[in-house]
Structure 1
Amino acid sequence: MSRAMNGLAAGETRMILITGRRAPEVPQVLVEQGFEVEIRDGAAPEQAASGQVGVEAKGEAEVVVIEGDQVALQRFLGAGSQVKPRSGRALRVAFTYNVKRGIAGDQEAEFDSPRTISAIVEALQGWGYEVVPIEAGPDLPARLDEVAPDLVFNIAEGWHGRSRESQVPAMLEYRGIPFVGSDSVSIALTLDKVLAKRLVASAGLDTPAFQVFRAADEPLNPALTFPLIVKPACEGSSKGIGEGAVVHDEEALRARVRHLRERYNQPALVEAYISGREFTVAVVGNGAEPCVLPVLEVAFNEAAGAFPVYSYEIKQEIVAGARYLCPAPIDRELAERLARRAREVFSALELRDLARVDFRLAEDGTIHFLEVNPLPGLTPDYSDVCLIASAAGLTYQTLVGHLMRAALTRMGFPEEAMPGVVPLSTLAAGVGLGEAVG
C-alpha cells in the first residue's frame, strides 16, 4: 500500500478521490459495497446534498469522495486480495499502479483513479490472465515475493525525484521479473524533458530551441526570442504548464522560472514557442516498424487563449480549451510524416511496447518534437491513447491485449500465452476528415 495508507488503525477512515468520465455506475457500485459517497462538481448542488448517485458528469470535473475503512477500500481496489494457488496454465500477471487519494493540488496528477485501475484489471482478466493488483508502495517488493508473478503490467508513476517513473521498472529489473513497457533507463530519460530533447536532437530530429534555467537570474540565450514557454523540466501530465506558461518579456520569464523553481524544486525548461497545430501519436509494438495508430489533433479554441498550450487545466477539463480530432484532419503525406517521426523518436529513446509522442507543426511545415510519455494515461474514454484506440476501432480490452501481445512477443513467451488480437499492422496510420472523439 502507499505511504498515505501506512499506520491506519482497523476501521479508520481514509478519503480518496475518484475522477471519472461517463461512469455514473462507479458511485452506485461503491454505495452497494458500503461506502459513503458524496458527488461534487459533476452533479448539481441539490443532487450532491441529497447523496444522489448515478449522475452523468462532464469529463474529469466529476469528483467523488469515498469514505470507507482501509480493509474495504483495499478490497475494492483489489490490492489486499489474497493470492490463490495457480490455476491451470494461465499466466499470473501482477498489476502495479499508484492510486489517487485526494491530496490537494497537482501532486497526484499522474496517478490513476480506481476506475482506471478496475478497467485494466477487467481487461487483463478478459484475456484469461490471473491478475493480482498491487499498489506500488513501500511494501511492493514483499508483495511481489508473495505473488511470484510470471510478469508485471506496470503503470506506477513513482513517488519522488526525476527518476521516479523508473523506480518500479528498476526494481523489477533487479529482481529479474519481466514487465510490460519501457525499461528503467528509457523511462528515466523521458521524464527529464531536457535529456529527452537532447537525445532526440542528437538523432537529427527537430525540437524547439531551448535553455535550462537553474536560477531565475541566469542570462537568457540571445538566440531565443519571445514568445517563450516555461515548463518544469521533470514533470508529467502538464504539471506546471498553465496560465502564465507562455511569456513575452524577460520580467515575465524570470517570474515564471522563479515560480516553478519554488513550486517543483527543479530546473525550468525554457523553449521557443511554436505557433501551430498540435498532434499526438500513439506507438504500439517493437522492432523496426512499431505500429502507429491514427493521429490525434488537439484542436485548440478561443478558450485556450491567443498562445494556446496543452495545459494542465485543459487536460483536466477545468478549461474547455480543446477538442480532440481523430483521425486528425490532415492529408496522407503529413500523416505519414508524423508516423515516421514518431517511430524515429521511439527508436532514438529506445522505447518499447507503448508510448505517446507529442508534436507541434510549425507554419513552415517542420514537425517539432515536444515530449514523449512511455507511461501514457489509460483512462477509458478519456486518455489520449484510449481516444486514439477507439477511433481505430479498438475496444479497451483489445487495446490492452495489443500491449500484452507486444510485450509477450518481446519477452519470448509462447503463442498460447498471447491475446488473440488482429495484428495492428492491418490498421492505417490515420487519415480522414477528423472526428471529434472527446
Structure 2
Amino acid sequence: MPQPRLFLVYEPEKACLDRLVDQGYPQERAAEISSYLAQSTDLAPEFADIWREAGKRGITFTPLELDEAAATITSADPDTSLVWTLTDGIAYFRGGTAPALARLAGLRTLGADDSLFALCQDKFRSGAVLSALGLPVPQAGLARNGHWLVEPPASERGWFVKPNRLGAKIGIWPDSHCHDLDHALELSRRVSSHYRDDVVVQPYVAGRNVRASFLDMTAHADMSSLGVFLVESGADFQTMADSLALYGDTGAEAKSTGFYVEPELVPLAATQPLADAEIRRVAARLVTGLGLRDVFSMDLRVKADGTIHLIEFEVCPGLPCFDFRAYCRAQWSMSLAEAMAETAARRLVG
C-alpha cells in the first residue's frame, strides 16, 4: 500500500506578482498585493524540516505549487492522501481553488470546506453571515470608487475603511480611520485606483487588537486549545507598510536593519479572563454554525470593559507568521514543522 501523503498546496508570491503585472497592475501595486502571499515565501525554507518530521510519523510530505496542483491532486490516491491549503484567495490570489480540486478528486482536506474559503475573502458578505449568526461584528457599508452601494451606519468615533477582498489586513493607510464619510468615499476611490477593489466602511471600534489561533493537532481538540493573545505592536491597526515589514523578503530586510520589531503577544486571559472566555464562545459558534474546523484564526478588538468585536476570520491563517509559531509553542510545545506533521499524521495514520 502506498505511504500516506500530505500535499501542501501554495501559490508562490512571484507567480502572483508576474500575473498581476500581466493584468496591467503597476509593479509597485503588484508587489504590495502579492506580498500577502509572503507566507509561502517564508515557509519554503522549512519544507525540509516538515518533510523530516512527516517521515518520522510515517507519511510523505509533498509541497505543491498551485499551478501543478490540478494534475497532481486529481491523480492522487484518495485513500492515502490529505490536502492542506496554505494560501487562499478568490480575487487576486487563486489558492481557494485547491480545496475545490481536492473535493473534485475525492481527497480529504485539512481545514474548512471550499465554500468558506470564498466567504472569508469577501469581508462584506462574511460580515453579513456572521451577523446573522448573532456574532458581535460591526455593521458595515460598502462603497465602490466613490459611490455607496450600501451606506454605513452613523458613528460618533468615525469609520474604518478597508478593501473588501484584498488579503486579510484591517487597513491600508494611516488615514484608514477617518472622521467623515466624504473622506471614506475618497479612500474608496484610492483603493479602486490602486487595487481595483470595493471598500468596507465600518464604525470605528476602539480597543486592543487580539489574535485567536487554532490548530486541531489531535483531531479532537475543542476551544480550550484556542490560543488568544493581545497583539501589542504600539499601533492602533496594521497598515500595508506594517504588513510589508513583517513578512517575506521585505520583512527579512526590515528585521535585519532594526526597522521593524515583531509585536509582543500577551495571553488575554492574564488580564481579561471574561473576554477570553467570550472569544472562545464565539469561536465555538463559528465551528458549529459556520463549519470552521482543523485550522483557523480570528482577528478581534477588545475594549477595556471586556466587550469584544469580531473583525474577521481566516480559514487559511499565516502558518509561518510570528503569532502562529508562538501559538504552536505555547499550546502544543512544538515547532511549526512538528505541529504540521503531527496534525497531518493524526488524520492519515491515526
TM-score w.r.t. structure 1 length?
0.64
Q: 1-side partners of 2:76 and 2:318: how far apart?
A: 25
Answer yes or no: is 1:131 the counterpart of 2:64: no
Instruction: Give yes or no for the alignment of 1:234 onto 2:165.
Output: yes
Shift of 1:177: 1.4
How far is 1:353 from its partner? 0.6
Question: What are the within-5 Å matches in structure 2 for residues 289-368 of structure 1?
Answer: 289-301=222-234, 304=235, 308-317=236-245, 320=260, 323-328=263-268, 329-368=270-309
Residue in 2 aligned with 1:64?
none
Tell me: CA distance 1:405–1:343, structure 2 relative to 1, closer, same or farther (3 Å).
farther
More RCO (CA 8 Å, sep 6+) = 2
CA distance in 1, matches of 2:46, 2:274: 36
CA distance in 2, matches of 1:312, 1:141: 32
Equivalent residues in 2 for 1:17-416 (5 A)? 90-101=3-14, 103=17, 104=28, 105-111=31-37, 112-120=39-47, 121-122=50-51, 123-137=53-67, 139-145=68-74, 147-148=76-77, 150-157=80-87, 161=91, 164-218=94-148, 220-221=151-152, 223-238=154-169, 241-285=172-216, 289-301=222-234, 304=235, 308-317=236-245, 320=260, 323-328=263-268, 329-379=270-320, 382-392=321-331, 393-404=333-344, 408=347
User: Is the partner of 1:326 in helix, strand or coil?
Assistant: strand
- How many matched pairs? 315
How far, CA to CA, are the matches of 2:327 and 2:145 in structure 1?
Answer: 39
1: distance between equivalents of 2:266 and 2:337?
20
SS at match of 1:152: strand
Structure 1 CA distance, aligned partners of 2:35 and 2:317?
12
Secondary structure, aligned partner of 1:283: strand
Contact 1:96 1:152 in 2 (8 A): no
Retained in 1: the 8 A contact 2:214–2:227? no
Answer whether contact 1:165 1:191 (CA < 8 A) is retained.
no
Q: Per-residue deviation at 1:354? A: 0.6
CA distance in 2, matches of 1:233, 1:390: 33
Structure number with bigger Rg: 1
| 2:213–2:327 CA contact under 8 A, matched in 1 | yes
Question: Any unmatched runs of 5+ in structure 1?
Answer: 1-87, 419-438
Per the alignment, in what secondary structure is the counterpart of residue 91 of structure 2? Answer: coil
* Other-structure match for 2:249: none
CA RMSD after TM alignment: 2.9
* TM-score normalised over the length of structure 2: 0.79
Change over 3 Å in CA distance of 1:349–1:288 after alignment to 2: farther
**Distance of 1:271 and 1:289 partners within structure 2:** 31
Distance in structure 2 (CA, Å) of the matches to 1:261 and 1:267: 6
Q: After superposition, what is the alpha-carbon deviation per residue over 1:80-129, rounded to whole angstroms, capped at 9, x for unaligned?
A: xxxxxxxx663122221122228452222232344503425434334331
Structure 2 unaligned runs (5+)? 18-27, 246-253
Distance in 2 of aligned mates of 1:400 and 1:237: 22
